Amino acid sequence: MMPARRSTTMLANLVTWGLVLLISFPLIWMVVTSVRPQTELFQIPPTVIPRAITFEHYIKLLQETPFLRYFMNSMILATSTTIVVIVVGTLGAYSLVRFSYRGRETLAALVLFTYLLPSVVLIIPLYLMMVKLGLANTLTSLVIAYTTFALPYALWLLRSFMAGVPEDLESAALVDGASRIGAFIDVILPQALPGIISTALFTFILAWNEYLYALVMVNSDQARPLTTGVMNMLITSFNIEWSLLMAASVMMSIPLIIIFAFLQSYLTRGFGAGGVKG
Amino acid sequence: MTISASQHRTRNPLERRYALLGVLLIAPTVLILCAVIVYPLISAIYLSLFSIYTPTLKGSWVGLGNYAQVFGSSGFWGALGTTVTWTVGTLFLQIVFGVAMALLLNQNILFRSLARSLVLFPYFVSTVVAVLIWRWLFNDLYGILSHLLIQFGVVDMPVDWLGKMPNAMASVIFVGAWKFFPFVVIAVLARLQTIPEQLYEAATIDGAGVFGRFFDVTLPQLKEVLTIVILLRTIWDFKEFDLIYLLTGGGPVNNTRTLPLIVYQQAFGLNQMGIAATYAVAMMLVMLAFMLIYLYRARRQAP
Amino acid sequence: MDSNSIWLRRTLMSGISRRSVLQGLGTAGLAAGLSLPLAGRARAADPVTLRWWSPQASPDQLKMYQTQIATFEAAHPGVKIAFEPTSDEGYPAQLAAAFASKQLPNIVTHLPSFAAQNYYGQGLLEPMDDVIKAIGEDKYFPGANDVYKTADGHYCGTAIGNTAADMLWLRKDLMQKAGVDKAPTTWDELRTACQKMQGGGIFGAPLPYGLNSMTSLIFIGFIHRAGGQIFSPDLAVAIDSQPTYDALEFYKSMREFCPPGATNYSWGESLTAFVSGATATGIYAGRVLANVTSQNPGIADSVTCATYPTISKDVASWTFNDFPSVFIPKDIANMAETKAFAAFLFEPKGYIPQLLAAPGHVLPVLKTIAEDPTYLADPIIQKYKAEVTLMAGAAAAGKNLGYETDKHKPNLKANEIIASNVIAELVQRVVLNDEDAKATVGDIAKKLEGLMKA
């Protein structure tokens, strides 16, 4: 029995890791391409192992292109969106979970319904709205636009995290004479904090990766985030430098890599709790 | 959203104040959602009744003329078919890959958390990045994919991955599956870990093999989570724009041009904002109809 | 919600006046509290900032633009110029959004002449007559601004250069090896040459078959080189004719000599394919020279060009010149400074280095510049003298969809026709999908009629 069991485990390991590597190959190839000299890329047939390693593309990206400006824009954009959505969403979710008033359930269902709305339906009126408000072409307009998908999503996640906080804790605080808001700050917030962090990470990533709204609403380098900035800057009619594109891709993924390295458990928690269980 | 009068009688003042506080707390959410979702939604329907030239925003009333034009054109129905093909194709692969990978990762393998991170990564990476990587892999002259296939003797010419049918649709579906299947993996994995071990032991005693255990124990246990996963992913895949727009731009001809791409092209390529809004509303109606049917059937099947 | 429905009803009842459709949009709802104190407003309040857009934005060109900008800023204290790249494929959407939102660039350069005509026709551009005067009408080559003449007797833009966008690029080394003794002049000769030179990982030609503007623009050239046209001089759709079928047949027969991925090629891919040595011929403008020199010097000595072959010796050549333009949107702030900057772009000190950032690509439209010793002293212009002269001649006689022949009225819909990709769709349906040429051309003709009416 024993040897058979061991060989099954070996096989499982082999198959799983084989598949994992296959799935991550595109990402590995991105990194490999980004450190190869441009001349090596234009070899026919292509070679798998780089013969020389260079960081010239990263340096070029940082020194000769507006990459850093786009990066800053994306950072401001994703952070602002996250703050707005988390503040509003936390209060809203608390209300949905712990208060009773008419229309509460309907409201929760309507929030789920907004999942249905394609961005393209909202984008035209939203765009015109920003024009009227004089906000077109600003990061603010994108923050507002991003709440359309980030707020319902965050609300739904936070709602299930908050539902997981034992009601007795809050009741105990209330009996001790705390106000509802006091109990919320002292009891609910600390208890739900991991969930809030998890939701914040999701929101940040959603905003960081958004493309369509940025494509339509912003046409100035002053407010262009990375997604549209990189495409506009590097896919051109005069040259397509793949090594530069791959270097840009790696750098675009830096926040993600950091989150993965240090905060990954929060991401999986987000999945387990709200995203799917519903 | 106000406190109902009928409930006042049964409630003490504290409860009433609580309810008021609850409404107050949800108010910002409701206001924002009204401003950025409800209002634009109504506007979209309103705009769809006009013919509008995008750069000048000058419009004239055409009533339901846009709808007659959209529903009467082969463009809409063709794009709907394309959208359904893409959605069904990529969803199918996502579910199959996702469940299979979750089962594997549920085994006791070495460095399991590292493996899980690597599998999860494509889901969180920006679509722009994912598309750039794949366009580079698919490159006809310098792409590694064609090169490897030629080396292993599978093909003798570089493959045109994105430029002709059915390759283009297959590539888009495949890249979509690569990008989005981790969602299924994580959802299913979380559920797998809660299936009681006794169920498997009982099945083994009853003489069930690997496949027997999968179909008799695992799958029924996964049914609930899969229902929700399929629902969410169908919605998200149906309205996917970035991936297809950046990978093929809708080509060749219009074979991968899904509904969201048409909306964008009408509004900002052809400068027909009214028609674009019409397409958008029509697309939403289709999704709504589909959702209602799905939910109705799911509810009827549930005990 | 209530104010919305009232507004809806009111607008519907009052009958829709032209502009009122969107009056109500955007005004309702959104609380002022949402306008976060974020950086990133494009319009800076205090110093005058002029936004400058161009799709010609390679790193070398950018450097020269920055020098020009610095010189202008030094001479005009308080004025700042912000350069922002747009793209050949992306500008229609970006400009549509910019016009709609009134978040406009002050000056747009290097877009095709038909873009200027299109926007002017919609009342969106400022006439450029006084800018042309400031530059000096007599300095231009004769007729250089003809494509910008408008129905109301103004100029909707001015030429900043000429481009011979569809030259046939050749590799003398490969021609010799394959026994091709002269540059092909007819389609049959071209096909034979490509066939002979293809092999060993090298393809014959990088013709675009993608669903994009390049395919449309290039294929329009092929129709003309078969003796046909897209529109008649008074702008009736004239695409449904024998030359179009001939062009399709030839274009289809060339598919086997193009790289597999040509089905997604646009300018960048097509250029890179020739420059990297993956194809024996190329179809592009003069930028090939600069790119070959810097990226693949090994083939630089063997590169030459010719006007693109025609169907037979009886049909005259037709070169696609997009007539890179300068135009200024109407009603922008700081019009005086903008016009001063537009004229400044043509001053030799800045204009020459700008042109020389991609020698031979954007060719001068001012006689005074073309004869200037500083311009002629450039090593690439020197090295490829014959090629540059050929391109200059071809470009000067060049045409585009907005201006198919001298007899044609300006086509104000050319921009949307290109953005709609219908011509590229024709190519894809016939070449890739094997659809019947005649039926497809008929279908496309109907679509063109629809676009002209829209």
**Domain contains A190:** yes
B225–A115: do the CB atoms touch at under 8 Å? no
Q: Are residues C216 and C131 in the same domain?
A: no
Q: Does C191 touch chain A (CB under 8 A)?
A: no
**Domain contains C27:** no
**pLDDT score, position C438:** 94
Q: Are residues C351 and C260 in the same domain?
A: no
* Residues B37 and B25 sit within 8 Å (Cβ to Cβ): no
Please tell me the distance in Å from B85's CA to the nearest CA on chain A: 18
Q: Does A54 touch chain B (CB under 8 A)?
A: no
**Domain contains A45:** no
Residue by residue, what is the 3-state secondary structure of chain B?
Answer: CCCCHHHHCCCCHHHHHHHHHHHHHHHHHHHHHHHHHHHHHHHHHHHCCEEEECCCCEEEECCCHHHHHHHHCHHHHHHHHHHHHHHHHHHHHHHHHHHHHHHHHCCCCCCHHHHHHHHHHHHHCCHHHHHHHHHHHHCCCCCHHHHHHHHCCCCCCCCCCCCCCCHHHHHHHHHHHHHHHHHHHHHHHHHHCCCCHHHHHHHHHCCCCHHHHHHHHHHHHHHHHHHHHHHHHHHHHHCCCHHHHHHCCCCCCCCCCCHHHHHHHHHHHCCEHHHHHHHHHHHHHHHHHHHHHHHHHHHHHCC
**pLDDT score, position B91:** 96
C18–B59: do the CB atoms touch at under 8 Å? yes
Residues, chain B, total?
303
Q: Are residues C448 and C379 in the same domain?
A: no
Q: Which of A8, A21, A23 to mutate to test the interface with B (most CBs of B within 10 A)?
A: A23
Residues in chain B within 8 Å Cβ distance of C252: none
Q: Does A232 touch chain C (CB under 8 A)?
A: yes
Give me the amino acid identity at C213.
Answer: S
Please tell me the distance in Å from B294's CA to the nearest CA on chain C: 30
Domain end position, chosen among C342, C376, C393: C393
At A274, phi and psi to the nearest 5?
A: -100, -40
Range C244-270 average pLDDT: 93
Range C2-8 average pLDDT: 35
**Domain contains A118:** yes
Distance CA A18, CA C377 (A): 60
Q: Are residues C201 and C231 in the same domain?
A: yes
A219–C51: do the CB atoms touch at under 8 Å? no
C100–B165: do the CB atoms touch at under 8 Å? no
Q: Does A72 touch chain B (CB under 8 A)?
A: no
Q: Which of A135, A219, A226 to mutate to test the interface with C (most CBs of C within 10 A)?
A: A219
Confidence of residue C20 (pLDDT cuts 50, 70, 90): very low
User: Which DSSP symbol is given to C350?
Assistant: H
Of B168, B245, B269, B69, residue with least CA distance to C422: B269
Hey, how many other C-beta atoms are within 10 angstroms of the C-beta on C253?
A: 14
Q: Are residues C138 and C212 in the same domain?
A: no
Kindly tell me if the per-residue pLDDT of B231 is higher than 50: yes
A92–B2: do the CB atoms touch at under 8 Å? no
pLDDT tens per residue across span C159-211: 999 999 999 999 999 999 999 999 999 999 999 999 999 988 899 999 999 98
**Domain contains C189:** yes
**Domain contains A211:** yes
Residue of B nearest to C430 (CA): B253
A71 vs A59, A74, A144, A230, CA distance in Å? 15, 5, 19, 10
**pLDDT score, position A4:** 60
C18–B58: do the CB atoms touch at under 8 Å? yes
Q: Are residues C185 and C302 in the same domain?
A: yes
Distance CA C246, CA C232 (A): 18
Residue of C nearest to B161 (CA): C261
- Neighbouring chains of C at 3+ CB pairs within 8 Å? A, B
Give me the amino acid identity at C11.
Answer: T
Residues in chain B within 8 Å Cβ distance of A125: 39-41, 43-44, 47, 277
Hey, how many other C-beta atoms are within 10 angstroms of the C-beta on A167?
A: 10
Residues in chain B within 8 Å Cβ distance of A272: 186, 190
**Domain contains C74:** yes
B118–A98: do the CB atoms touch at under 8 Å? no
Percent above pLDDT 70 for chain C: 90
Q: Are residues C143 and C94 in the same domain?
A: yes
Which CATH number is C302's domain given? Answer: 3.40.190.10
Q: Are residues C194 and C313 in the same domain?
A: yes
More confident residue, A168 or C238: C238
Which residues, numbered 11 to 40 in chain B, qualify as contacts with chain C under a Cβ-Cβ cut-off of 8 Å? Answer: 31-32, 34-36, 38-39
Domains in chain A, number: 1
Please tell me the distance in Å from A84's CA to the nearest CA on chain B: 10
SS3 of residue A183 by DSSP: helix
**pLDDT score, position A249:** 94
Q: Taking the CA atoms of chain A, what radius of gyration do you get in angstroms? A: 24
Range B214-229 average pLDDT: 85
Range B111-138 average pLDDT: 90
**Domain contains C282:** yes
Kindly tell me if the per-residue pLDDT of C294 is higher than 50: yes
List domains and CATH numbers for chain B: 5-65 (no CATH), 73-301 (1.10.3720.10)
**Domain contains A13:** no
* Residues C304 and C170 sit within 8 Å (Cβ to Cβ): yes
Confidence of residue A270 (pLDDT cuts 50, 70, 90): low
Domains in chain C, number: 2
**Domain contains C31:** no
**Domain contains C10:** no
Q: Are residues C262 and C136 in the same domain?
A: no
Q: Are residues C438 and C302 in the same domain?
A: yes
**Domain contains A21:** no
A211–B110: do the CB atoms touch at under 8 Å? no
At B159, phi and psi to the nearest 5?
A: -85, 140
Please tell me the distance in Å from A170's CA to the nearest CA on chain C: 32
* Residues C428 and C221 sit within 8 Å (Cβ to Cβ): no
* Residues C386 and C286 sit within 8 Å (Cβ to Cβ): no
Here the tokens at position B165 are 């049918």
Q: Are residues C284 and C433 in the same domain?
A: yes
A211–B25: do the CB atoms touch at under 8 Å? no
User: Which of C40, C56, C296 has its CB closest to that of A73?
Assistant: C40
- Full residue range of the structural domain in which residue C382 is found: 48-163+322-393
pLDDT tens per residue across span B139-177: 888 888 888 888 888 888 888 898 888 999 999 999 999
**Domain contains A25:** no
User: Which of A131, A215, A220 has its CB closest to that of C26?
Assistant: A131
Residue of C nearest to A132 (CA): C26
ipTM value > 0.95:
no
Which CATH number is A143's domain given? Answer: 1.10.3720.10
B194 vs A273, B119, B212, CA distance in Å? 13, 21, 19
pLDDT tens per residue across span A124-154: 889 888 888 888 889 999 999 999 999 998 9
The pTM assigned to this predicted structure is: 0.87
- Full residue range of the structural domain in which residue A98 is found: 66-224+253-275
Q: Are residues C190 and C114 in the same domain?
A: no
Counting one residue from chain B and one from chain C, the pairs whose CB atoms sit within 8 A come to: 132
Residues in chain C within 8 Å Cβ distance of B38: 1
A96 vs B7, B23, C244, CA distance in Å? 18, 9, 65
C272–A236: do the CB atoms touch at under 8 Å? no
A101–B1: do the CB atoms touch at under 8 Å? yes
**Domain contains C9:** no
Which residues, numbered 311 to 330 in chain C, qualify as contacts with chain A under a Cβ-Cβ cut-off of 8 Å? Answer: none
Q: Which helix (H) or strand (E) holds A104?
A: helix A104-113
**pLDDT score, position C306:** 94
Counting one residue from chain A and one from chain B, the pairs whose CB atoms sit within 8 A come to: 278
**Domain contains C252:** yes
Distance CA B220, CA B195 (A): 10
Residue of B nearest to C4 (CA): B39
**Domain contains A22:** no
* Residues C180 and C263 sit within 8 Å (Cβ to Cβ): no
